[in-house]
Structure 1
Amino acid sequence: MTTDTPARTPRHTRPARIALVGDRSPHVESHVRIPRLLDALASRDGLVLDAYWIPTADAAAEAASGSLARFDAVWVLPGSPYASEAGALAAIRTAREEGIPFLGTCGGFQHALLEFARSVCGLAVGHAENDPAAEDLLIAPLACSLVGHEGLVRAEPGSLAEAALGAEQSLERYHCNFGPDPRHLPALAAHGLRLSSHDGDGQLRMAELPGHPFFLATLFQPELYGDGSRPHPVVKALAAAAVAHAAATG
């Protein structure tokens, strides 16, 4: 079977519902590409997703009401600083605690680490983009900006990162100025977060949560892969997880 063979959505299952959490903007290239990526997932791979955009300002209320828990996947998108840090964190926590397939990209990666550090590790840490005066930063300015940068990432053997990428290493595109402070990463790993992919300099680029159906965060932006006509393997992996969740939950 070739990699282009569609993984068809079973006819008896309902369409998988995915929450696209982010502050949608025509000026964010990743956002502009989303409709085309969803179309390509359906036409190329048979992975049909019923997508709903949820602004971060609404996400906390959606999580509190239980509405967010009824989705089959949560994707926290690039485009930070978010209108509501609390909303982004609430969406991530819901996906983590409810076993909902989750992908966090760029800002979503940063906030996935922030949510885990605060909620699971009990660390009083901040994000420099949201609160530059915070006493202790988990997400800090990068020494070298990754805006427009391409770089090789290497996934740990046997990790979800490797399975989602479909390879041990991959060339990826970035558009960010912030990343995790290495000082805090041992605490995250000690509490169960797997730091599963790094660049050539050993800097963290992907993280995941073992034991969760699908919980993956990438500092790079898979939305920027190619010309947007073929979904990145990580995006396809999330879509497949969403379809599986819909099939399992009816």
Structure 2
Amino acid sequence: MARFVFITGGVVSSLGKGLASAALGALLQARGYSVRLRKLDPYLNVDPGTMSPFEHGEVFVTDDGAETDLDLGHYERFTGVAARMTDSVSSGRIYSNVLEKERRGDYLGKTIQVIPHVTNEIKDFIAIGEDEVDFMLCEIGGTVGDIEGLPFFEAIRQFGQDRPRGECIFMHLTLLPWIAASGELKTKPTQHSVKELRSIGIAPDILVCRSEREIPQKEREKLALFCNVRPDSVIAAYDLKSIYEAPLAYHEQGLDQAVLDAFGISPAPKPNLDRWLDVQDRMQNAEGEVRVAIVGKYTQLEDAYKSIAEALTHGGLANRTRVRAEWIDAEIFDREDPAPYLENFHAILVPGGFGERGTEGKIKAAQFAREKKIPYLGICLGMQMAVIEAARNLAGITSAGSEEFDHEAGRKRFEPVVYHLKEWVQGNHTARRKVDDDKGGTMRLGAYTANLKEGSQVAKVYGQTVIEERHRHRYEVDIKYRDKLEEQGLCFSGMSPDGKLPEIVEVEGHPWFIGVQFHPELKSKPFAPHPLFADFVRAAVENSRLV
């Protein structure tokens, strides 16, 4: 049976609960334990799939096709454990499940209430797969005191009561603000946050305190006294240069030992931190730097491209090179020549997105990279824009465009080189979608196999000809244009197993120009960089030596 660690937050949001959870998972793994991490989000959306990237950041996608919170990306990157659909749930999903059961008559005519029906549904979710791992880490989104989070806090309180003593602990993450005028770290917000948590029946076993200044021993003792935790269970969480310093930093502060002590595990297995020491060494001892332009449409919020930014960092680690990613709004190129903006970069990346806004700028970025022989990586929409660019400027299809843009405009303006995917093979059945279907959960989602062309650049990058990657899109490049485009040097080097859906394109004779329909960034890790990102950064390094 798994031991459960429930991670809550207080004082303010965005303190780094997800990062703390992921780092703790990595430290428990370093001691030889198996872990799984879960996220319970209080918002009423069924999942983040229809949320604006400006509001919620990126949508992380699992192998089994779940659209989840970006914290699951942290979990995977730090532990290497592939997240599943059952590792993320929202209030919307919980209430949807409860109402479906009520409609079926599963509650035998009872009045449906938050307690016990909603809380029982949450507890059932928490317990899924508990026999598979040693530790289950469950992060509760939001902060204590949020009205929408109350059912989740009540559910974990009940869960802790239902289980045998010593099977569940609670870890609370708070902020110690620095008041410059008085030159003091203030503990009162944390005291009030813990008071709020205790008022709903949860007593934290461990306090993790974010602070930009060192926490004096006197303040630690004060927190321990007034929050009723052991002094060695008050853990400092200081600002770091890189998130990948977090496992070693938390270990130094004693977080993993505090967790094992709270469970009464003694003697504790010694940790093997070689993986994280190697990551730290590669980060601190980079042998050079490359500049990569990310030409996107959600550049105002870097969390919209969180996994891409991290995957570029991982590619840098693989090459002992520091990657300086710079964000450029694609809409600028709708009006201006991209050359002055892009000519000093060593590589160009065009990420995914939805809708027509900024796409002409992305097409110009792809053209610039192709013509100037600059390494180019196009992801999802970035691949589609590269294909449209080649269709217009190489194959003579001057009106080439995407059916997505015509749907958005409500009239036909383009020859649809990219079309709305209405049917595809998913496992052992055929999935079908219509243009006017609901937006949520209706894309081609999750892991799909692709076959790579023997001898192609991408086959050399992967070192194999059969791969599996995660998808999130509803538009595809139309295979009927393949012959015309390949005549002009755009090779379709990766295809779906049935040969109907283009997965990868590359420009022949170019130093490094690859577009992929899937999202390779979702599977990259600091200790196991994705092959595409590792080789993309290698190509950027080679290009930097030529500039």
TM-score range (shorter-chain normalised) is 0.7 to 0.9
**d(CA) in 2 for partners of 1:66 and 1:211?**
25
User: Do structure 1's residue 159 and structure 2's residue 445 form an aligned pair?
Assistant: no
The residue aligned with 2:496 is 199
Post-superposition offset of 1:10:
8.5
- SS of 1:116's equivalent in the other structure is helix
The structural deviation recorded for 1:62 is 6.2
Aligned-residue offset at 1:154: 1.0
| Matched residue SS, 1:148 | strand
Q: 1:32 and 1:215 mapped to 2: Cα distance? A: 22
Tell me the CA shift for residue 28 of structure 1: 9.5
* C-alpha distance 94-60 of structure 1, shift in aligned 2 (>3 A): farther
Among 398, 403, 406, the alignment partner of 1:131 is 406
CA distance in 2, matches of 1:31, 1:158: 31
d(CA) in 2 for partners of 1:35, 1:156: 28
Q: Displacement, 1:178?
A: 0.3
Letter in structure 1 aligned against 2:539:
A
- Give the Cα–Cα distance (whole angstroms) in 2 for the partners of residues 61 and 153 of structure 1: 37
The equivalent of 2:510 in structure 1 is 212
- 1:248 aligned partner: 546
Check conservation: 1:26, 1:32, Cα contact below 8 A: no
* Contact preservation (8 Å) 2:449, 2:497: yes
Following TM superposition, by how much is the alpha carbon of 1:240 offset from its aligned partner in structure 2, in angstroms?
0.8
Contact 1:63–1:91 (CA<8 Å) still a contact in 2? no
CA contact (8 A) 2:348 2:377 kept: yes
* Matched residue, 1:113: 387
Q: Distance in 2 between matches of 1:231 and 1:194?
A: 25
Other-structure match for 2:349: 75
Distance in 2 (CA, whole Å) between partners of 1:31 and 1:201 is 31
8 Å Cα contact 1:16/1:243 also seen in 2? yes
Which of 205, 221, 245 is the matching residue for 2:519? 221
How far off is 1:20 after superposition? Answer: 0.6
Q: Distance in 2 between matches of 1:77 and 1:229?
A: 23
Deviates more, 1:113-122 or 1:24-33: 24-33
| Residue pairs, 1:38-49, within 5 angstroms | 38-49=312-323
Shift of 1:66: 2.7
Alignment-derived partner of residue 60 in structure 2: none
Question: Secondary structure at 1:158's aligned position in 2?
Answer: coil
Partner Cα distance (2:498, 2:359) in 1: 29
Higher radius of gyration, 1 or 2: 2
Q: Mark the runs of 5 or more structure 2 residues left unpaired by the alignment.
A: 1-277, 424-441
The 5-angstrom pairing of residues 63-102 of structure 1 reads: 63-102=337-376
Q: Distance in 2 between matches of 1:140 and 1:16?
A: 36
Amino acid at match of 1:102: Y
SS at match of 1:67: helix
1:237 alignment counterpart:
535
Q: Which amino acid aligns with 2:312?
A: L
3-state SS of paired residue (1:149): strand
Q: Which moved more, 1:77-86 or 1:19-28?
A: 19-28
Distance 1:198 1:22, change over 3 A: same
Tell which deviates more after alignment, 108-117 or 49-58.
Answer: 49-58
**Contact 1:106/1:176, CA 8 A, preserved across alignment:** yes
User: Structure 1 residue 198: deviation in Å?
Assistant: 0.6
Deviation of 1:44 after TM superposition, in Å, equals 4.6
Give the partner amino acid of 2:384.
Q
Question: CA 1:243/1:79 → structure 2, altered by over 3 Å: closer, same or farther?
Answer: same
Q: Deviations over 1:80-128 (max 9, x none)?
A: 3252221111100000000000010100011110000001111022211
* Partner-residue secondary structure (3-state), 2:473: coil
Structure having greater relative contact order (Cα 8 Å, sep ≥ 6): 1
Query: What are the Cα deviations for residues 159-183 of structure 1, in whole angstroms up to 9, with x where unaligned?
Result: 0110122221111100000001122
SS in 1 for 2:476: strand
Over the aligned positions, Cα root-mean-square deviation in angstroms equals 2.7
Identity among equivalent pairs (%): 26
Query: What amino acid does structure 2 have at the position aligned with 1:139?
Result: V
Distance 1:128 1:229, change over 3 A: farther
Q: What is the CA-CA distance between 1:30 and the residue it aligns to?
A: 6.7
| 3-state SS, counterpart of residue 363 of structure 2 | helix
TM-score normalized with structure 1 length: 0.87
Question: How big is each residue's C-alpha offset from its partner over 1:39-97, in whole Å with a ceiling of 9 and x where there is no partner?
Answer: 33334541321110111112356644433122110100011325222111110000000
Question: Normalising by structure 2, what TM-score?
Answer: 0.41
State the one-letter code of the partner of 2:360.
Answer: A
Whole-angstrom distance in 1 between the partners of 2:300 and 2:523: 18
The CA deviation at 1:26 is 9.0
- The range that moved more, 210-219 or 65-74, is 65-74
Which ranges of 4 or more aligned residues in structure 1 deviate by more than 6 Å? 25-30
- Gap change, CA 1:91 and 1:113, over 3 Å in 2: same
Give the unaligned 5+ runs of structure 1.
none
Shift of 1:136: 2.2
Check 1:114–1:247 CA distance in 2 against 1; reply closer, same or farther (3 A cut): same
Bigger drift between 150-159 and 32-41 goes to 32-41
Matched, 1:177 2:474: yes
Q: Which has the higher helix share?
A: 2
Q: 1:10 to 1:157 in 2, by over 3 A?
A: farther
Q: How many residues align?
A: 242
